[in-house]
Amino acid sequence: MTQPTEQSQGAAAGQEPQRAGGPGERSPRRAARQLIAASVGNAVEWYDWFAYSFLATYIADEIFPKGTGNSLVPLLSTFAVFAVGFFMRPVGGLLLGAVADRSGRRAALTLTILLMGGSSLLVAVTPTYALAGVLGPAVLVVARLVQGLSVGGEFAASTTFLVESAGPGRRGLFSSFQYVSTTAGQLVASGVAAVFVRTLDDGQMHQWGWRAPFVVGALLSLVGFWVRRGAQETRSEKHTAGPRPRLFDALRSHPRESALIVGITAGGTIAYYIWTSYLPTYAQVNAGFDKGDALVVGTISLVFFMLLQPLAGMLSDRYGRKPLLLGFAFGFAVLCVPLLHAISDSFVSLLLVQCAGMVLLSGYTAIAAAVNAEVFPARVRAAGIGFPYSLAVALFGGTAPYVGTLFEELGLPDAFPWYVAALCLLSALVYLRLPERAKEELER
């Protein structure tokens, strides 16, 4: 592995430079530190992101009250809740990915977690509409803008950092912790929200309870910041010494690779959002499934999904990326329609369908970071991944619940599974032409 370059950056920041190289460079202890630095921060990022989703009902009641005569309020409500976060993710992927390429992966990682902590605190102190009028929704929009910016930059920086931290033959394993930590953040957010909802009465939740999980998120961000400050830089000396890449260098110099990231991501992101977030709602709308039972099934499935990630990552290190990618994509293209049609009002049916989809989905999620990192050269890797990946997520993943609901409203619920299958088939065609790079050395 290429030696870290902390000396130059540590000296510039007035800190004691960290030692690079040496026999401990690939030690288990060093690897664990790098994994923890990436994973803890990523979990905190996604805790904050999902906490907003779980508490959206309370936020809407307090910040966007019904029955107001001000037309700006429902407009801002719609914009904030459904669009702002995903709209900003490609921007974050581009801007903060460029920071990672120009100033180092660690610098970008510390910046993203500070942005997320600040935005979480901003949500916590957002004034209600009753207190401040339209200022409340405006503050919330700003908070969601910063959250989206941070999440978009987080994937770009942490993907690059994780994969570059891996030793030979372990990139798939390290890559898998991207979704291990993302799922952990989602589960913690769900758990924290559930504790407050069950502990406080409805009046307390509306008055102040919905704010408390965001204060927790802000505090957790400080912990993540502290952990990441102790991580080692993965960008090599040659990229530190050479001319720094400009903002759009990745898009200008590597348009084919940018398009490839979109193709790699399209099927994976819609399958991910359907199976991890939207499936309980889909079961309620299309099969009359009980809401409480659907959430229980979703939680069990997420734990199962999290445990699958390292196993799939190790399989890809041994047998290659393409077998897992093709298994995911063709599996979903063929089985998505029958799986979704198999959902009934039975607890067991939804659990089996969700877990079966999680097994297939792991063929993509566990190695997405490694596959994306192997597409771009080190000099523009973070920005090269960040923008097209986040754009694909916004276009296909972020719209998945709305497309599913739209098909239902149009009286075409059976069309939605075919839409998902078609996108997975599109990604399968991309995977067929993707070079196998699992055994190649990664440029650093």
Q: Do 333 and 188 reside in the same domain of the chain?
A: no
| Count, residues in the chain | 444
Query: Would residue 240 count as lying in a domain?
Result: no
More confident residue, 281 or 430: 430
Q: What is the pLDDT at residue 414? A: 80
d(CA 420, CA 271): 7
d(CA 292, CA 270): 24
Rg (CA), the chain: 22
Q: Do 297 and 192 reside in the same domain of the chain?
A: no
pLDDT grade, residue 310 (50/70/90)?
very high
Query: Would residue 20 count as lying in a domain?
Result: no
73-87 residue pLDDT tens = 554 564 555 567 778
Q: Do 216 and 284 reside in the same domain of the chain?
A: no
Structure tokens at 82: 């459904």
d(CA 426, CA 404): 19
pLDDT grade, residue 237 (50/70/90)?
low
Contact 397/275 with Cβ under 8 angstroms? Answer: no
Domain-ending residue, one of 170, 195, 230: 230
Mean of pLDDT over the chain: 83
SS3 state of residue 412: coil
What CATH number is attached to the domain comprising 189?
A: 1.20.1250.20
d(CA 210, CA 194): 11
Neighbours of 292 (CB within 10 A): 9
Q: What is the pLDDT at residue 7? A: 40
Q: What is the pLDDT at residue 75? A: 46
| Average pLDDT value for residue range 218-231 | 89
Q: Do 139 and 284 reside in the same domain of the chain?
A: no
Q: Measuring CA to CA, which residue among 434, 311, 300, 435 is closest to residue 367?
A: 311
Q: What is the pLDDT at residue 238? A: 64
Helix, strand, coil percent content, the chain, rounded in steps of 5? 80, 0, 20
Least confident of 43-57, 282-296, 377-391: 282-296
- Percent of the chain with pLDDT strictly greater than 90: 37
Query: What string of H, E and C letters represents the secondary structure of 130-173?
Result: HHHCCHHHHHHHHHHHHHHHHHHHHHHHHHHHHHHHCCCCCHHH
Query: Would residue 390 count as lying in a domain?
Result: no
Query: Would residue 315 count as lying in a domain?
Result: yes
Contact 82/258 with Cβ under 8 angstroms? Answer: no
107-126 residue pLDDT tens = 999 999 999 999 999 999 99
Structure tokens at 91: 């921007």
d(CA 286, CA 198): 28
22-54 residue pLDDT tens = 333 456 777 788 888 888 888 988 898 888 877
**Which spans in 167-211 are helix H?**
171-199, 202-204
More confident residue, 321 or 59: 321
The secondary structure of 325-359 as a DSSP string is HHHHHHHHHHHHHHHHHT--S-HHHHHHHHHHHHH
Tell me the CB-side half-sphere exposure of residue 54, using CA atoms within 13 A: 27
Q: What is the pLDDT at residue 83? A: 63
Q: Do 262 and 349 reside in the same domain of the chain?
A: yes
Q: Do 217 and 277 reside in the same domain of the chain?
A: no
More confident residue, 245 or 239: 245
Q: What is the pLDDT at residue 17? A: 40
Contact 307/184 with Cβ under 8 angstroms? Answer: no
Query: Would residue 49 count as lying in a domain?
Result: yes
What letter represents residue 226's amino acid? W
Query: Would residue 223 count as lying in a domain?
Result: yes
Phi/psi region, residue 178 (left: phi>0; alpha: psi -120 to 50; beta: rest), is alpha
Taking CA atoms, 260 is separated from 30, 345, 430, in Å, by 33, 39, 7
Contact 135/166 with Cβ under 8 angstroms? Answer: no
Contact 45/154 with Cβ under 8 angstroms? Answer: yes
345-384 residue pLDDT tens = 888 989 999 999 999 999 999 999 999 999 988 888 988 9
Number of structural domains found in the chain: 2
d(CA 277, CA 272): 8
Query: Would residue 147 count as lying in a domain?
Result: yes
Q: Do 101 and 178 reside in the same domain of the chain?
A: yes
Query: Would residue 317 count as lying in a domain?
Result: yes
Taking CA atoms, 426 is separated from 256, 263, 268, 362, 366, in Å, by 16, 7, 10, 18, 20
Q: Do 262 and 200 reside in the same domain of the chain?
A: no
Q: Do 265 and 180 reside in the same domain of the chain?
A: no
Domain residues for 411?
255-375+399-435
d(CA 34, CA 230): 9
Q: Do 211 and 259 reside in the same domain of the chain?
A: no
Structure tokens at 121: 């605190």
Q: Do 49 and 149 reside in the same domain of the chain?
A: yes
Q: Do 262 and 149 reside in the same domain of the chain?
A: no
Q: Is residue 181 over pLDDT 70? A: yes
Q: Measuring CA to CA, which residue among 310, 429, 438 is closest to residue 374?
A: 438
